[in-house]
């Protein structure tokens, strides 16, 4: 459903070079790499927000560079670190804007859908609150609800767990698994290598704009690779909760 071929992007002096990947419905791709390696730039390039110098991005068989805005909204959603809506807007209005390209004509059905989304993200009590009143975690959840309300088959998450406490962080991964079961494809920028190992089907590792590894997380994210990539010392322990290896850093 997502195919990236020899993608080259130039933003100021920064370049992303030679990215190739394929992602099927129901799969989660983790994007990892040191700060400034190009992860957000890569995500935004998939939405054609940065000029693609060469290569192609195909989403659901359509060239992403040729999509109209509403076509793009039906096929792909970005949960960005950058919060662009006005802070005077209410939570309900924010989530409702996600429906512009997919709204049905049945007003009752729309209301029921939005109610269910707000409940799923524990936002019912905040529904009429201006975004300016929300805590960092509540705001992040409101944007997450908006991303899911768009109902696209591909969702791009730029550091989705920022500001979330442990409970909502765990909930985010539940939502990710829910999206996977609903046969959606997800691309997630991940900073915690353990999350990549547990939740991602594939990983793309960037360093200074170059794809240095792409494949199955367990094959790529070995202890020595992680130590070398992030210049940290890593220890491996067995998580007593599930018997799985876990990195400490």
Ligand X SMILES: Nc1ncnc2c1ncn2[C@@H]1O[C@H](COP(=O)(O)OP(=O)(O)OP(=O)(O)O)[C@@H](O)[C@H]1O
Site residues (vs ligand X, CB under 6 A): 11-12, 14, 33, 35-41
Three-class DSSP category at 4: strand
Least separation in angstroms between CB 41 and ligand X: 3
Q: Which is nearer to ligand X, 134 or 208 (CB)?
A: 208
Least separation in angstroms between CB 37 and ligand X: 4
Q: Which is nearer to ligand X, 56 or 81 (CB)?
A: 81
Q: Which is nearer to ligand X, 84 or 242 (CB)?
A: 84
Least separation in angstroms between CB 35 and ligand X: 3
Least separation in angstroms between CB 46 and ligand X: 12
Q: Which is nearer to ligand X, 41 or 140 (CB)?
A: 41
Distance CA 176, CA 170 (A): 10
Q: Which is nearer to ligand X, 38 or 217 (CB)?
A: 38
Q: Which is nearer to ligand X, 39 or 141 (CB)?
A: 39
Least separation in angstroms between CB 249 and ligand X: 16
Distance CA 113, CA 122 (A): 14
Q: Where are the alpha helices (DSSP H) in the chain?
A: 39-46, 69-75, 91-97, 107-120, 136-149, 166-181, 193-199, 217-220, 223-230
Least separation in angstroms between CB 43 and ligand X: 8
Listed in sequence order, the residues at least 6 apart from 2 whose beta carbon sits closer than 8 Å to its beta carbon are: 21, 22, 23, 29, 46, 57, 58, 59, 154, 185, 187
| Sign of the dihedral through C-alpha 12, 191, 7, 184 | negative
Residue nearest to ligand X (CB): 12
* CB-neighbour burial class of residue 225 (10 A; exposed 0-12, middle 13-18, buried 19+): middle
């Amino acid at each position: 459903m997502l195919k990236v071929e020899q993608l080259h992007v130039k933003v100021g002096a920064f370049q992303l070079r030679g990215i190739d990947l394929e992602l099927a419905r129901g799969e989660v791709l983790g994007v990892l790499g040191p700060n400034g390696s190009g992860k957000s730039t890569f995500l935004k390039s998939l939405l054609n927000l940065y000029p693609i110098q060469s290569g192609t991005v195909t989403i659901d068989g359509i060239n992403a560079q040729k999509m109209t805005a509403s076509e793009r909204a039906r096929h792909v959603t970005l949960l960005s670190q950058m919060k662009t809506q006005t802070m005077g807007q209410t939570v309900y209005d924010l989530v409702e804007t996600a429906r512009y390209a997919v709204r049905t004509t049945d007003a009752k059905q729309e209301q029921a859908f939005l109610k269910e989304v707000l409940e799923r993200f524990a936002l019912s009590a905040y529904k009429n609150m201006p975004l300016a009143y929300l805590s960092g975690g509540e705001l992040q959840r409101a944007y997450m609800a908006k991303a899911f309300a768009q109902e696209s088959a591909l969702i791009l998450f730029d550091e989705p767990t920022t500001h979330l406490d442990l409970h909502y962080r765990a909930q985010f991964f539940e939502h990710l698994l829910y999206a996977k079961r609903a046969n959606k494809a997800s691309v997630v920028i991940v900073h915690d290598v353990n999350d990549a190992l547990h939740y991602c089907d594939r990983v793309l590792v960037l360093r200074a704009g170059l794809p240095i590894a792409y494949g199955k997380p367990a094959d790529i994210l070995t202890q020595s690779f992680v130590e070398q990539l992030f210049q940290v010392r890593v220890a491996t322990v067995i998580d007593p909760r599930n018997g799985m290896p876990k990195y400490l850093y």
